[in-house]
Chains A and B, each alone.
Chain A
Amino acid sequence: MHSEAAIREPLILGHRTYHDITQDIVGPIEQKAPRGWYVLTTIAALIALYGVGCIVYLLSKGIGTWGLNKSVDWAWDITNFVWWVGIGHAGTLISAVLLLFRQKWRMAVNRSAEAMTIFAVIMAAMFPLLHMGRLWLGYWVFPLPNQFGSLWVNFNSPLLWDVFAISTYFSVSLVFWYIGLIPDFATIRDKVTKPGMKKAYSILSFGWTGNAKAWTRFEEVSLVLAGIATPLVFSVHSVVSFDFATSVIPGWHTTIFPPYFVSGAVFSGFAMVQTLLLVMRKVMHLEAYITRKHVEYMNIVIIVTGSIVGVAYITELFISWYSGVEYESYAFINRATGKYWWAYWSMMTCNVISPQLFWFKKLRTNFAFTFFMSIIVNIGMWFERFVIIVTSLHRDYLPSSWNMFHPTWVDAGVFLGTIGIFFTLYLLFARYFPVVALNELKSILKTSGESYKKEAADHHHH
């Protein structure tokens, strides 16, 4: 059997057998949920319900209930959209890119990161739909034959590219996730004894057998899906950045947007994974699988992508001066020193300065500090989108059109609502789905499990 270098830290702590892994992951699904789960789900569901109320109000009254005005005609809606899509980037990155790089540590985190991706993309997709005002006409974004004359959607427009990018990304991520879930559902099906549960997981597992040919196909599908999901994940946020970059608004018209947005997305996505997993590993007792090393690996990704984002901010600033375009340089000076200086400096502090603390090993291996930082990063990334969108719009070419954006309670309620819906979905996932890719983890148990590594090392010394 091929063994792993002793210098690599174990990915599964303590002594575990294959059966222990099944027990540790499926056990919580079989038992009654802990009280904490009911408390959290109730809070999340109440916030979600409030959000649904705000959405119903918004749809019945119209977009006028948002704080948009003539100058700032795009604000929280698109900020929230880009923020959620960005968060939705870590899942596919972990499962596809890290699979191609053969990073074994992904196996403990990929399942929940993919679930996060799917829920985050659903939240993101709500904003363009809501901004249409008439939700029921959302299907007009597709090139469907219609009775309005030969009226087609515009394939030159980045907004339409977004439709294709987001729907492809969402559906491919969903399929990738589900194909990985099938064998784990089969494990639950074969383990549970309650007839209702057995029936439910039997349907979910699609009759999976786990025979040799099925596993060969499974590995091929995972590899090919990872191969095509990798350019897909990079294309999605590039296309989102085109929404701005192809316009002629100073502050948006920037060629570095695609890589800058993609690294920002990975940055915020990993932060959200940390927020969710640090709570989950404690509540569901997954400390043996989601270890300090896993958290450290993700913090390293955060510092790398955070630094790329920092370089992008400074490049933007430099080029706005170096280009000699006065509108461009005004847009950036205004961001840093104008009326929205507080948003700009919140963004700079949260995204560029504070993640640099992760250079200290003591801090990046500290759970409490990581949790705190993961929240800071996501606040910072929300401000990044707000700064790009609102500060670029609020100073129009004509000073008579200068304006500020004042969000209304509907703006805030809808945003808060999506956070509630997101956490409700995630908590339901954590309760009923295998939160760790347990069968995949079994395949690395004997090479990366702590007790097996120790055994191999002892064997080696004699």
Chain B
Amino acid sequence: MANKVIYAVYEDPEQLKDGARKLVSNGVSVKDVFSPFPVHGLDPIIGVKRTRLAIASFMFGITGTALAVLGITYFMIWDWPMNIGGKPSQALYKNLPAFVPVMFEFTVLCAAHGMAITYLIRNKTLPGMPARNPDPRSTDDKFIIEVRTADNHGHSSEAITDLLRTTPVFEINERQY
């Protein structure tokens, strides 16, 4: 039997969540959901784990701080200490307050851009990537659940479709793949 992919199209995020809940409680696993905006409370239903992007951002941020401290120490203390109005220039800790603004800005720079780049790569959203949503209406006003028969060996595509019909679904599309 050929593998099938079923798209259940909903018109409202709450109805979509009801549909997803019904599928999951009947043992059908949901492959993915496509929506025009984030549907709050959906992730625990379909088993999407929390993203670790914030942790990545923190890592990038402290890397930035470390680089800034190292760079400034090298430029201003080791390589060429400058005597500016007799202000301390021989040890980092003595001159630290003047270096705080750049350390802060560089931390933010690395945290923000590091996270943004990670985000784009993880989402596979990069310049030149083709559109991969199954239905153009999913960026407009439709909310779509994708179920694959390959992930649900205990259920026939007819059974899944029948189950979906008991929810306020707008339309159901099936495709071979």
Contact = CB atoms under 8 A, between A and B. Distances in A.
Contacts, number: 201
B129 A207 contact: yes
A220 B113 contact: no
B36 interface: yes
B141 A17 contact: yes
Contacts of B61: 228
Contacts of B35: 210, 212, 215
Contact of B115 (A216, A219, A225): A225
A224 B48 CA distance: 19
Contacts of A208: 123, 125, 131, 133, 139
Contacts of B54: 220, 223-224
A172 interface: yes
Interface in A187-213: 187, 189-191, 202-203, 205-213
A206 B112 contact: no
Give the size range of B's interface with the partner: 35 or more
Given A175-B116, A190-B139, A442-B36, A214 B102 contact: no
B141 A19 contact: yes
A212 B32 contact: yes
Contacts of A143: 71, 75
Nearest to A165: B105
Contacts of A232: 105, 108
A150 B38 contact: no
Nearest to A198: B131
Interface stretch (B1-9, B21-29, B79-87, B148-156): B79-87
Given A161-B102, A221-B116, A212 B46 contact: yes
A151 B43 contact: no
Contacts of A168: 105-106, 108-109, 112
B82 A203 contact: no
B145 to A, nearest CB: 10
Interface stretch (A152-160, A328-336, A339-347, A404-412): A152-160
A161 B138 contact: no
B50 interface: yes
A179 B129 CA distance: 15
A242 B97 CA distance: 13
B36 A210 contact: yes
The main secondary structure of chain A at its interface with chain B is: helix
Contact of B34 (A176, A210, A216): A210
A224 B95 contact: no
Given A172-B113, A179-B119, A206-B125, A216 B84 contact: no
Given A228-B111, A443-B38, A210 B43 contact: no
Contact of A206 (B43, B46, B127, B140): B127
B87 A156 contact: yes
A9 interface: no
B51 A220 contact: yes
A186 B37 CA distance: 12
A218 B79 CA distance: 43
A216 B125 contact: no
B123 A214 contact: yes
A313 interface: no
Contact of B125 (A164, A214, A225): A214
B138 A207 contact: no
B159 interface: no
B126 A207 contact: yes
19 contacts: A18-B140, A151-B80, A158-B101, A164-B106, A165-B105, A168-B106, A175-B112, A182-B125, A186-B139, A203-B127, A205-B125, A211-B33, A212-B39, A212-B43, A212-B48, A218-B123, A228-B57, A228-B61, A242-B101
Given A168-B105, A175-B112, 20 more contacts: A18-B36, A152-B76, A152-B79, A190-B131, A190-B133, A190-B136, A190-B140, A191-B139, A207-B125, A208-B125, A209-B133, A210-B36, A210-B138, A215-B39, A216-B38, A218-B123, A220-B54, A228-B61, A235-B101, A439-B139
Interface of B: 12, 14, 32-39, 42-43, 46, 48, 50-51, 53-54, 57, 61, 71-72, 75-76, 79-80, 82, 84, 87, 95, 98-99, 101-102, 104-106, 108-109, 111-113, 115-116, 119-120, 122-133, 136-141
| In the A-B complex, the 3 residue pairs with the closest CB atoms | A207-B129, A18-B141, A190-B136
